[in-house]
Amino acid sequence: DGGITQSPKYLFRKEGQNVTLSCEQNLNHDAMYWYRQDPGQGLRLIYYSQIVNDFQKGDIAEGYSVSREKKESFPLTVTSAQKNPTAFYLCATADSYNSPLHFGNGTRLTVT
Amino acid sequence: EDKVVQSPLSLVVHEGDTVTLNCSYEVTNFRSLLWYKQEKKAPTFLFMLTSSGIEKKSGRLSSILDKKELFSILNITATQTGDSAVYLCAVKPGTYKYIFGTGTRLKVLA
């Protein structure tokens, strides 16, 4: 069954802790993206990767890090430097330069 | 700065009504405009528009793009409660980035 798998669905962490969100895809898409969604603010781009071992910062990359060691995987680490990490995080993929984004089901992160 | 603006921010209608959602944009080197429907979690793809004046239809939903005036509309006819969702508009400029608007929250009452 082809798709994008994000895990976990819900994640709780204490302030000062780093946490890693998983995104795996078996669609064989080249490009992968991380977006953050807050109420009333739409989707904001954190990082994206066009190919393995390469990634670019999006509009709100501060306090986040990523890696792209395999085509199928694009994990996002939320570091303690991110001042307001509580949000809904969406991973997406695209198979070519001008194709629609396909989204995973998201991870809701709550930091207390 | 590239930007996408959607209106209205929210809308409440009754079943059977027709609604029109708006998306205007300012981007460099426009490539395409996309519409998504988001219920509880993952946005699902509705339409991708690249050419002006060509309507795309899927059932009760339709969309059209005006590249001269830099906007698109999404129409939903004979609305149903299952149409209740946030509708997102995104624009792809000449890069790998997709720029999203804040969305329109539609609620359809029975």
Q: Average pLDDT, whole number, for chain B? A: 94
Decide if pLDDT at A75 tops 70.
yes
- Token pair listed for A75: 């994990």
**Span A59-87, mean pLDDT?**
95
Taking a C-beta distance cutoff of 8 angstroms, is the pair B108, B11 a contact? Answer: no
Query: Searching chain B, which residue's CA lies closest to the CA of residue A9?
Result: B41
Taking a C-beta distance cutoff of 8 angstroms, is the pair A109, A78 a contact? Answer: yes
Q: Which residues contact A31 (CB under 8 A, 6 or more apart)?
A: A48, A49, A50, A93, A94, A95, B96
**Span B76-105, mean pLDDT?**
93
Please indicate whether, in this complex, the C-beta atoms of B102 and A105 are within 8 angstroms of each other.
no
Give pLDDT, residue A2: 64
The DSSP annotation for A46-92 comes to EEEEEETTEEEE-TT-TTEEE--SBTTB--EEE-TT-S---EEEEEE
Query: Searching chain B, which residue's CA lies closest to the CA of residue A105?
Result: B42
Taking a C-beta distance cutoff of 8 angstroms, is the pair A22, A4 a contact? Answer: no
Decide if pLDDT at A1 tops 70.
no
Residue A8: other Cβ atoms inside 10 A: 12
pLDDT band at B93 (very low <50, low <70, confident <90, very high): confident
pLDDT band at B34 (very low <50, low <70, confident <90, very high): very high
Output the CA–CA distances (angstroms, integers) from residue B57 to A111, B24, B78, in the order listed: 42, 20, 14
**Span A74-101, mean pLDDT?**
91
Decide if pLDDT at B41 tops 90.
no
Q: Which of A20-24, A57-61, A95-99 has the least mean pLDDT?
A: A95-99
pLDDT band at B59 (very low <50, low <70, confident <90, very high): very high
Mutate to test the interface with B, among A29, A43, A44, A60 (most CBs of B within 10 A): A43
Hey, is the C-beta of A40 within 8 angstroms of any chain B C-beta? yes
Helix (H, G, I), strand (E, B) or coil at B86: strand
Helix (H, G, I), strand (E, B) or coil at B51: coil
Q: Which of B23-27, B38-42, B71-75 has the least mean pLDDT?
A: B38-42
